[in-house]
Amino acid sequence: MDNQIVLKKSLFRSDAVQRLLAFGALILLFIVFSIASPNFFQFDNIVGILLATAVNGILALGVTFVIITAGIDLSIGTVMTLSAVMTGVFITFWHLPVPLGILGGLATGAIAGLINGSIIAKMKVPPFIATLGMLYIAKGLALVFSGLKPIYFNDTPEFNNMAMSSVLGAVIPGFDVPNAVLIMFGAAIVAGLILTKTVLGRYTFALGSNEEATRLSGVDVDRWKIAVYTLGGLFSGLAGVVIAARLNSAQPSLGQGYELDAIAAAVIGGTSLSGGEGTILGTVIGAFIISTLSNGLRILSVPQEWQTVVTGTIVILAVYLDIVRRQQQ
């Protein structure tokens, strides 16, 4: 009898349910918006949604790891901005080759993450505070290094092409999905493999599940925590490079607020803020829900400010559903 109860429970594993629910919600949104407006389900508009998801999706991938450890990273938005600005500094100001500039942008994000992780693991500053501090530091540094002005990549068109031209369109004529979208899916696959197939992924869950138990098992908890925040920072760096390439410029004042969209994407996708649970697929679906929602509402001429209100409501709803399900268990 014991065994039956156990089996029943496993069918209702909450992250699986949440993912299913989130996927259902995404389909529902598509159906509702398609009925409401003939302009919604058009190839160009769908591409627009995909493109809008790219940057937020990449940010959300990184923060998913952090949240699964029962931590939080509020700095991802402005670290993304700083990474974009540094890419601009390397490519436009210093005239470094584009690939080197990109590496520099990625490294900027990873270093910010490394610092976050070290402050949290070694100095025992709570993640909320440590990364809130980093939010301001990165924001300030982005303004300092850019000289308060956007940095343009006009001398290096290949940088913009990297994100906005379409490899897919070259292979399948007419199917012009910008590379930025492919970069996001590629990053998602890599993130999924890391989370499910590697020791880093295993310890990400173990940390969020029972940090003390993980420590007592002989795992160097501090080191792995730093690794997780560094990985999160690396994804912010990638998001910075992609947004800079997409806009053909590094905008030093853009970025704050992105962290909330990314965290919302992870949470809507079933990543538990209390740690130990989450999937990459769920996060990607969550990111699509957010961008589909704002795209659809825009097509229906709902003002921008109301779109934000709706997103907030959805986040609360998603977390509330998560809590209800936990209580049932």
110: left (phi over 0), alpha (psi -120 to 50) or beta: alpha
Question: Rounded distance, CA 211 to CA 215, Å?
Answer: 6
Helix (H, G, I), strand (E, B) or coil at 249: strand
Stretch of residues binding other proteins (CB under 8 A), selected from 16-24, 191-199, 250-258, 305-313: 191-199
Helix (H, G, I), strand (E, B) or coil at 250: strand
**Contact residue for other proteins among 198, 309, 316, 323 (CB under 8 A):** 198
210 near other proteins, rule: CB under 8 A: yes
Which residues within the stretch 270-289 sit at the binding site for other proteins (CB under 8 A)? 276-277
**What are the start-end ranges of the E strands in the chain?**
151-152, 249-250
DSSP 262: H
Stretch of residues binding other proteins (CB under 8 A), selected from 9-17, 108-116, 249-257, 291-299: 9-17
Stretch of residues binding other proteins (CB under 8 A), selected from 168-176, 199-207, 260-268, 299-307: 199-207
Q: Are 29 and 293 in contact (CB under 8 A)?
A: yes
Cβ 9 to other proteins, closest distance in Å?
5
Distance, C-alpha 284 to centroid of its chain: 8
Question: Rounded distance, CA 205 to CA 233, Å?
Answer: 18
> Nearer to other proteins by C-beta: 158 or 220?
220
> Nearer to other proteins by C-beta: 202 or 325?
202
> Nearer to other proteins by C-beta: 215 or 325?
215
126: left (phi over 0), alpha (psi -120 to 50) or beta: beta
Q: What are phi and psi of 249, to 5 degrees?
A: -165, 155
Cβ 196 to other proteins, closest distance in Å?
8
**Contact residue for other proteins among 208, 233, 269, 282 (CB under 8 A):** 208
Packing angle of the helix pair 76-88, 258-268 (nearest 10 deg): 130
Please give the full DSSP string across 15-42, using - where no structure is assigned: HHHHHHHHHHHHHHHHHHHHHH-TTTSS
CB atoms within 10 A of CB 119: 20
Size of the site for other proteins (CB under 8 A): 27
205 near other proteins, rule: CB under 8 A: yes
Which residues within the stretch 219-278 sit at the binding site for other proteins (CB under 8 A)? 219, 276-277
Cβ 264 to other proteins, closest distance in Å?
22
Which residues within the stretch 91-150 sit at the binding site for other proteins (CB under 8 A)? none
> Nearer to other proteins by C-beta: 173 or 218?
218
Residues engaged in binding other proteins (CB under 8 A): 2-3, 6-7, 9-10, 13, 197-199, 201-202, 205-206, 208-210, 212-219, 276-277
